[in-house]
Amino acid sequence: MPARRLPRTVLVLGGVSFCNDLASEMVTPLIPVLLAAVLGAGPVVLGAIEGLADAVAAALKLWAGRRSDLWGGRRKPFVLAGYGLSNLVRPLLGIAGSWPAVAALRSLDRVGKGLRTAPRDALLADATTPEIRGRAYGFHRAMDNGGAMAGALFAAACLAWTPLSLAGVILVSAVPGVLAALLVAFGIADRPAAEPPRTAAPPLIWRSLAPELRRVLPLVGLFTLARASETFVVLRGHELGGGVAELLLLWAALSAMKALAAWLGGGLSDRLGHGRTTGLAWLAFAVAFAFLALPATLAGLWAAGLAYGLLAGLGEGAERALIGELAGPDQRGTAFGWYNAVVGAVALPGGLLFGGLWQAAGAAVAFASAAGLSALAAFLLLPVVLIKPR
């Protein structure tokens, strides 16, 4: 394999993420509108639903990642089950009649994410060498965000040019979702188990992780506490009077900027160092959230949203490449499980904190507070990763 060519597994998983996010983002940016305009729920409910949706999968991410290690590095069963479940339940949001039903279905969708995420990220690390790992994760995140852009554009086109309602668009999302599951089933060959599956697992304890991981993961948690769901950008646009089609176009444009930045940032991290790039990207994220605190008009929100997408996407590949690098080959699934468990564990308090600040003091205070917290996380991370830059 030429040194700069991405392996087939990386390319196929990129296609899977494109299709899955195409399906997902036909639905996700519609959730704030569905809650506010149809079901009469506000920002605190949105924060609770989005936080709960990530938090409910936290333990599953750790379990699935670790179990894939114990199965001798076999990851595909978890990846297939996760994509299958998400794309089975997500279209049912179109017929949900109350916000608790939306919360339950959104949580089941995230259970699927919990099953697949850590084994998939470990599978990407297994398939790459350190010299191209940042580019591989950057490509994967670019395809993920590209699918988000395509999904939002397709949903906007359906609402503008067809008689489909919000519920109808959500139900149609089942089509690309099925394609994502089929790509996993028939496009990825799971490698033979490196060793027989272990029935008795060693204790799952924090101190069994590499020391570098134990220093980095709490800072990932602090940063995630500030990284509010991007559905709040859509909610802000709804408050400023944007129509559904325009908000979907904003989501698509934001996703396009993130896709471009993720691709460029992943390649940059292979040259600059995965840790350094992650720290600098967190600082860029803080600047992006500060921009989102400023707009009082839709035009201003568009400008801030595009800047946010460009700055927020820079570290998506580098952050995952850093985790894959700090973990040994026999611990990657477990390391990504811990990574995703930490992210999931703080998602609910982070969503409630952001939504509560928004409801109590307004959108500007919520975005500005998130900017400050993410900048703090970046300043704490940089001294750690500068000691071990790659």
pTM (2 d.p.): 0.77
Residue 227 in any domain: the answer is yes
Mean of the per-residue pLDDT values of the chain: 83
pLDDT average, residue stretch 13-26: 92
Q: What burial class does residue 186 get, using C-beta atoms within 10 Å of its C-beta: 0-12 exposed, 13-18 middle, 19+ buried?
A: exposed
Whether the predicted pLDDT of 389 surpasses 50: no
Least confident of 57-71, 81-95, 217-231: 57-71
**Domain of 263: which CATH number?**
1.20.1250.20
Residue 199 in any domain: the answer is no
Helices of type H across the chain: 8-25, 30-33, 43-55, 58-70, 76-89, 99-126, 130-161, 166-172, 174-187, 211-226, 231-239, 244-272, 274-292, 298-312, 316-326, 332-361, 363-387
Q: What is the pLDDT of residues 300-359, one digit of tens each?
A: 889 988 888 888 888 888 888 888 888 877 778 888 888 878 887 787 788 778 888 988
Q: What is the pLDDT of residue 197?
A: 56
Residue 291 in any domain: the answer is yes
Residues 6+ apart with CB under 8 A from 64: 78, 82, 114, 115, 116, 117, 118, 119, 333, 337
Residue 259 backbone phi and psi in degrees, to 5: -65, -45
8 A C-beta contact, residue 210 and residue 327? yes
pLDDT average, residue stretch 249-261: 87
Task: Give the integer Cα–Cα distance in Å for 308 and 311.
Answer: 5
In angstroms, how far is CA 73 from the centroid of its own chain? 23
Residue 2 in any domain: the answer is no
Number of domains in the chain: 1
Residue 7 backbone phi and psi in degrees, to 5: -65, 160
Residue 198 in any domain: the answer is no
Residue 200 in any domain: the answer is no
Residue 101 in any domain: the answer is yes
Q: What is the pLDDT of residues 216-240, one digit of tens each?
A: 999 999 998 888 777 788 888 888 8
Q: Write the CA distances from 282 to 97, 276, 295, 311, 321, integer angstroms.
A: 38, 10, 22, 9, 15
Q: What is the pLDDT of residues 184-194, one digit of tens each?
A: 999 987 765 55
Name the pLDDT band for 180 (thresholds 50, 70, 90): very high
* Percent with pLDDT over 90 in the chain: 22
Mind spelling out the 3-state secondary structure of 45-92?
Answer: HHHHHHHHHHHCCHHHHHHHHHHHHHCCCCCHHHHHHHHHHHHHHHHH
Residues 6+ apart with CB under 8 A from 69: 122, 330, 331, 332, 333, 334
Residue 93 in any domain: the answer is yes
Q: What burial class does residue 97 get, using C-beta atoms within 10 Å of its C-beta: 0-12 exposed, 13-18 middle, 19+ buried?
A: exposed
Whether the predicted pLDDT of 89 surpasses 50: yes
- Domain of 217 in residue numbering reads as 8-191+210-387
Q: Which of 131, 87, 138 lies closest to 111 in space, CA to CA?
A: 87
Q: What is the pLDDT of residues 189-211, one digit of tens each?
A: 776 555 555 555 556 677 778 88
Q: What is the pLDDT of residues 166-176, one digit of tens each?
A: 778 888 999 99
